[in-house]
Amino acid sequence: MSEPSAFGLTPIGHIASPFKQKFAIPRQPALANARGCVRLTPPFNDANCLRGIETYSHLWLLFIFHENLDQGWSPTVRAPRLGGNSRIGVFASRSTFRPNGIGMSVVKNLGVEQLNGQWQLNVGGIDLLDGTPVIHIKPYLPYSDSVADAEAHLLDEHPLPAREVHFTEQATAQLNAQPHTDLQALIIQCLSQDPRPAYRQSQDNDPKTYQVIFYDRDIQWRVENGKVLVTSLQPVS
């Protein structure tokens, strides 16, 4: 067996997504319905590459955790769902900090379209940062990818409870004045999962105001009486 010690990867496209930073991206993408697209990069910007893809309801995207690449890896990682202080092996985790920073996500196939000479694949249920380099698109094949009897004891034991999400009068007015028709749903879906750090998630009254950017809106929120209260949505300056 002869082989090189390292292989090279070339992005085939990039994600356009409402998620502008990692904070508040849902860990369970199926719980949110965020939409985005893969914009194919030349020489992959070719309708032939996608011929027949309409026959699949779901697709795998393989991508690069491009914001983490400089941070290296360690043999164990913290497991937030186990309380934050337990450590598990990097290969027993879906941590984004790992040897070869490759991620994989199942997405809904929402179809191919061409805009100004640019071929794009529209996808739904994404948990991907805007600008993420995509290295791979593959059909989701139920007979090989859907394992009916798979068990995952470590991460499935403690599903996070969903919090109610409310909007102040000011936030409601700002929501009605902006152009993204799915922004309200996106805020509710993402913030109901309480994206605060694990050690804060038990706090039902938290004085801190948190901030997250979806699309081009800077969203401020806090947790009060066990509920998420969205206080403001400003255009990103």
- Rounded Cα distance between 162 and 228, Å, is 10
Q: Per CB under 8 A, does 6 bind its own copies?
A: yes
Q: Per CB under 8 A, does 147 bind its own copies?
A: yes
Helix (H) or strand (E) holding 31: none
Looking at 115, 143, 202, 237, which residue binds its own copies (CB under 8 A)?
143
C-alpha distances in Å from residue 42, one per residue of 37, 66, 123: 16, 20, 20
* Residue among 21 and 203 whose Cβ is closer to its own copies: 21
* Residue among 68 and 232 whose Cβ is closer to its own copies: 68
DSSP state for residue 5 in the 8-state scheme:
S
- Rounded Cα distance between 167 and 10, Å, is 43
Looking at 25, 36, 98, 174, which residue binds its own copies (CB under 8 A)?
98
Cis amide prior to 43 (ω within 30 degrees): yes
Burial class (CB in 10 A: 0-12, 13-18, 19+), 196: buried
Closest contact distance (angstroms) between CB of 145 and its own copies is 7
Closest contact distance (angstroms) between CB of 164 and its own copies is 22
Looking at 22, 87, 222, 227, which residue binds its own copies (CB under 8 A)?
87
Return the CA Rg of the chain: 19
Q: Per CB under 8 A, does 50 bind its own copies?
A: yes
Q: Per CB under 8 A, does 97 bind its own copies?
A: no
Q: Per CB under 8 A, does 22 bind its own copies?
A: no
Task: Give phi and psi for 174, each to the nearest 5.
Answer: -65, -35
Closest contact distance (angstroms) between CB of 59 and its own copies is 8
Q: Per CB under 8 A, does 63 bind its own copies?
A: no
Q: Per CB under 8 A, does 90 bind its own copies?
A: yes
